[in-house]
Amino acid sequence: MEKKITELKVKTVEELKEELQALLREQFNLRIQGGLGEKPRTHIFKKVRRDIARIKTMLHLKEVTG
């Protein structure tokens, strides 16, 4: 699940945006699961949050560099 920067560098902006949307959906679902009383899976929260940050960083770099 964890994305490496080298994997993200070769993707297009559209692919990165799609992946970002999927991760945001997953993060939302994890929050809902926690609210419903299921066991908190904090290790997955951490991975998803960091993957979102990596993708946003790559999107920003691609916008700045052109």
Confidence of residue 60 (pLDDT cuts 50, 70, 90): very high
pLDDT in tens, 3-50: 688 888 899 999 999 999 999 999 999 999 888 888 778 899 999 999
Q: Given 1.10.287.310, 2.60.40.2140, 1.20.1340.10, 2.60.40.720, which CATH number is that of 5-65?
A: 1.10.287.310
Contact 48/63 with Cβ under 8 angstroms?
no
Question: Domain ranges in the chain?
Answer: 5-65
* Backbone dihedral angles phi then psi of residue 3, each to the nearest 5 degrees: -95, 135
What's the pTM? 0.86
- pLDDT, position 2: 66
Identify which of 19, 1, 22, 5 has the alpha carbon closest to the alpha carbon of residue 58: 5
- pLDDT, position 6: 87
- pLDDT, position 58: 95
